[in-house]
A and B are shown apart, each in its own frame.
Chain A
């Protein structure tokens, strides 16, 4: 059956990567236009666009890490817990260790990196699937965050860290978006480049697409997996930093269930739970789609449950569409 497929189905090339992301982009444009038509005028304002961008930053930062992990054919359920841990560590460092904001911020990211390293080592050394390992880590890390914070919120002095996701004051309107959002955008370009143009990136795709082939071809599979979890964890730590920035406290009970938002973003963006597929750009668009729905429903004064039903439907529809496209392409 050497029939030539008519549509471009290569999903790993840069051009086709963009083609692949077009579906979610249309989804995003469609969702936005729909709410622009039916929601109050305030939805269409530039301020609201900025709000949407700010609200997407945390999920977006975590989605960068999750994209890498899911492309490698794994999953990490500890995202929410790591974000909480990150925010707690930062607040603790600021409040009790007298650390500078920079050191505290890096400390939060480092905490996530360490959690990622541990998950990666457990997955590769114990040969337990990542779903189970990170399910355990989800509970353990949440407990760790609570223990550090003695089961309370940790207040921290206001620093420039809190400006990362704050609405821009008038004198800095030229920045268009808060620094935290720019940071996520810059890192997204970096991760996209890493996945596309580096040996590690190609190895991550290979491991996710077919681990046995990767091993046969001399890819150091375990090292690639550990590195992927480690890098992923650092992005979840960054999510913790952004979470802290928004809440101004370290909250060990924050971000419960965030992992599902993050996984949904990656999946809407064309990532596959079985690995070997996914793009950073698509994942960010996926995160934006969910934020637009949230914002639109809020602006229309719809109850919370409507937003949940709509988001749920979008996730299933996005994946169903993707499967359908796959089947047609063959």
Chain B
């Protein structure tokens, strides 16, 4: 499956001792990185580890404070992405930079249109676009198709084709599979394998370690702006990579107090949404953490949204405590449930408003006489959580937009604590935040499930909470959950005790290969 490695692959691009600071924050510290022709070099690390900064330096979007770069034996100091592209270094970003209203050919040759006197040679353009797609072994993507009509996977291929059309030899793929289905991932891997054989140098950024293990020839791990490890992919186990990424042993990262499962607080029977989930049944008990694992697009987020009244229910039963049936988000909050959105910036937080406004929005009660909302009381309520969760902010009036990702997530989570909910629906609670914040959130989840009072060193007991947690990151689920259920193509499997599952079995179930013999 894996191509034979060329031990003496030519060094195409070298980065030496790259440093970059933003104000007082050190983003990159003496980072060295080499991309070789005919090799896939994976760059892994937590969000905030410096991956994207390093790639911005590489692609000319940021100038390093110090350090040198060499491309094909010549000094390389691109002033902007355009110059980098001319030198043959192309970035394929997560958010594709295509014009949806233009055709495939127009996109591929945007800015380098063939022709003269301002007229575009359409036939020549079409031919070159077709050639580029054929090189990617996907000639079925027509040069005249509108990019907006293509699937995300096909759009990505167009983006790669655009880089090839202008002669790029170093390709940086930033989280290329995050919005792809598993079949599209296979197709993409074929394309990458093909480009590798053609002698391209490929830098592959991902936090899906399973993918990285499969596709990469070499792995470099970044943490807090430094290279903390690097080796041929075959020599690193997934566990070793994770330990390098987080910088501590896994049992320290995931605390686990004795938990006593109590009464059922959330029961779902045959829940079907519009369009997802297709079928979900599960029971969540007080004092337990139940994880839902699955691929992006499997319907996990939709399941939580349906439960919380943010999406419509087609059929099935939901019972939250004593309340049966569907309910609006407002009612759900009042019934003692809270939802943490996976998308902080777009949905989870109103980043233009203050920390206090965001934190108290779901529960503006008891903040003044006669139902009034007094700013002082609002800020006092917020400050309590700022202290207890160690949120780094100037004061409760600070705009959320100016907080770091980890602190923003703490604010979003503190909203559930302020509303004092019993059932916490957490969607990717640690996405895009630093390790320290992650550790705090894992600890918080444990505290809530065990029923200890937050911020109380003596550990005074109050009522245990119930937590339903969705995550794409398997080690995290295995670390914090009591039971795990797998969602695949809209269907939720049975929850199993975490002691009884293996990562391999969960992954197989998530990709729909569990007990399936036709082998798609």
Contact = CB atoms under 8 A, between A and B. Distances in A.
Contact of B399 (A10, A210, A214): A10
Interface centre among A4, A16, A216, A219, by most chain B C-beta atoms within 10 angstroms, is A216
B388 interface: no
A16 to B, nearest CB: 6
A277 B352 contact: yes
A8 B399 CA distance: 9
A325 to B, nearest CB: 13
B32 to A, nearest CB: 24
Contacts of A126: none
B352 A209 contact: yes
Given A213-B348, A217-B333, A2 B25 contact: yes
Contacts of A205: 350, 353, 357
Contact of A5 (B328, B341, B346, B402): B402
A218 interface: yes
Interface in B121-146: none
A216 B22 contact: no
Contacts of B330: 218-220
A215 B22 contact: no
B251 to A, nearest CB: 28
Contacts of A2: 25, 392, 403-404, 407
Nearest to B402: A5
Among B25, B349, B395, residue most surrounded by chain A Cβ atoms (within 10 Å): B349
Contacts of B351: 209-210
A44 interface: no
Interface string A2-14: 1111001111111
A202 interface: yes
Contacts of A206: 350, 353, 357, 361
Given A2-B404, A210-B351, A216-B310, A199 B361 contact: no
B361 to A, nearest CB: 4
Nearest to A15: B397
A9 B399 contact: yes
A9 B361 contact: no
Contacts of B24: 3
A153 interface: no
A276 B339 CA distance: 23
B394 interface: yes
A198 interface: yes
Interface in A290-330: 329-330
Contacts of A217: 329, 333, 361-362, 415
B358 to A, nearest CB: 8
A198 B357 CA distance: 12
Given A201-B373, A210-B352, A216-B348, A11 B329 contact: no
Interface string B281-324: 00000000000000000000000000010100000000000000
A277 B358 CA distance: 15
B402 A330 contact: yes
B74 interface: no
Nearest to A9: B399
B29 interface: no
Interface in B1-50: 22-25
Across the A-B interface, the 3 shortest Cβ-Cβ residue pairs: A218-B330, A10-B397, A2-B404
Given A199-B373, A210-B352, A217-B362, 5 more contacts: A3-B22, A199-B371, A213-B347, A218-B329, A276-B352
30 contacts: A2-B403, A2-B404, A3-B25, A4-B394, A5-B394, A9-B398, A10-B395, A10-B398, A10-B399, A12-B354, A197-B368, A197-B373, A197-B375, A198-B372, A199-B373, A209-B353, A210-B352, A215-B329, A216-B339, A216-B362, A217-B333, A217-B361, A217-B415, A218-B328, A218-B329, A218-B362, A220-B330, A276-B350, A277-B352, A330-B401
